[in-house]
């Protein structure tokens, strides 16, 4: 990988792009993942490549949901594994959530590679290899999940999820936490908690909130969840993209 000077004005964006390229070279990220990253970058540019106050609020709500969950699962695809392998493992540890590999373009080989990669980055157990249950309403390959993983979960974090699967998971009655830079994409539109932020900023920030809330009571966590206004969060991100105004300004 070419060295990118720390003071380069687009340093973070370039590092992120190289991680995705590296993910493709390692066989953990699909070629479609490159296209998804390009789409994400365009939105991130318009969002000012920063976590909006509304996104930070949604990240705190996501942390509260993960801590309240009976069984939380963090869904990991090829882009997430390439971009935030350490950070997603840390989030699982901080919240007691399971990790499950869940791919749009599923191949057993890529599932295994991602699971190995997460274990190299400190994960104890990685689900997604059994694929012994189905999400209703999706075609066979896209529907595969683990019966003791996503299928059983009450709360799922799905970064960069495809719109159809986000809708199908929501129809199963799950609390869905979606990270996606495009507030108009169907995935955040169907989410219980839409987080319009880059996964590289969002995941560590959810972990920071979870650490901060570790000793909070159930009542406090429930109050954070109750107070959340998903429409306002989506509107604030769209407003920032359309007018350049950060929410709260």
Q: Residues comprising the binding site?
A: 17, 39, 180-182, 186-187, 198-199
Q: How far is the CB of 16 from ligand ATP (least distance, A)?
A: 7
Q: How far is the CB of 20 from ligand ATP (least distance, A)?
A: 8
Residue 194-223 contact track with ligand ATP, rule CB under 6 A, x = bound: ----xx------------------------
Interactions with ligand ATP, residue window 7-66 (CB under 6 A): 36-37, 39-40, 43
Rule CB under 5 A: say whether 79 interacts with Mg ion. no
Taking Cα atoms as reference points, which of 178, 185, 169 lies closest to residue 199? 178
Beta bridge partners, 157, equal: 74, 177
- Report how far residue 44's alpha carbon sits from residue 8's, in angstroms, rounded to the nearest whole number: 17
Output 102 or 185, the one with its CB closest to ligand ATP. 185
- Report how far residue 161's alpha carbon sits from residue 175's, in angstroms, rounded to the nearest whole number: 14
Output 23 or 188, the one with its CB closest to Mg ion. 188
- Tokens 């075609």 appear where? 139
Interactions with Mg ion, residue window 150-179 (CB under 5 A): 163
Q: How far is the CB of 176 from ligand ATP (least distance, A)?
A: 13
- DSSP class of 139: -
Rule CB under 5 A: say whether 187 interacts with Mg ion. yes
Taking Cα atoms as reference points, which of 148, 187, 222 lies closest to residue 40? 187
Output 77 or 221, the one with its CB closest to ligand ATP. 77
- CA distance to 84, 95, 230, per residue, from 223 (Å): 29, 18, 15
* CB-nearest residue to ligand ATP: 40
DSSP three-state, residue 201: helix
- DSSP class of 149: T
- DSSP class of 192: S
Which positions touch ligand ATP (CB under 6 A)? 36-37, 39-40, 43, 83, 160, 162-163, 179-182, 185-187, 198-199
């Amino acid at each position: 990988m070419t060295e990118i000077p720390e003071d380069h004005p687009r340093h973070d964006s370039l590092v992120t792009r190289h991680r995705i390229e590296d993910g493709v070279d390692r066989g953990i990220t699909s070629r479609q993942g490159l296209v998804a990253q390009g789409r994400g970058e365009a939105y991130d540019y318009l969002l000012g490549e920063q976590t909006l106050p509304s996104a930070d609020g949604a990240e705190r709500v996501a942390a509260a949901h993960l801590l309240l969950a009976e069984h939380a699962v963090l869904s990991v695809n090829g882009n997430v594994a390439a971009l935030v392998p350490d950070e997603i493992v840390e989030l699982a540890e901080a919240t007691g959530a399971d990790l499950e590999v869940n791919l749009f373009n599923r191949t057993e080989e890529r599932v295994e590679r991602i699971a190995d990669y997460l274990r190299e980055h400190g994960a104890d157990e990685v689900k997604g290899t059994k694929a012994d249950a189905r999400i209703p309403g999706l075609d066979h390959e896209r529907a595969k999940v683990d019966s003791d993983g996503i299928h059983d979960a009450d709360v799922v974090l799905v970064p960069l999820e495809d719109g159809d699967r986000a809708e199908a998971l929501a129809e199963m009655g799950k609390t869905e936490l979606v990270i996606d830079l495009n507030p108009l994409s169907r995935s955040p539109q169907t989410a219980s908690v839409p987080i319009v932020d880059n996964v590289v900023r969002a995941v560590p920030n959810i972990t920071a909130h979870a650490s901060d809330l570790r000793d909070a009571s159930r009542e406090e966590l429930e109050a954070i969840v109750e107070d959340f206004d998903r429409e306002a969060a989506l509107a604030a991100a769209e407003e920032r993209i359309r007018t350049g105004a950060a929410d709260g300004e």
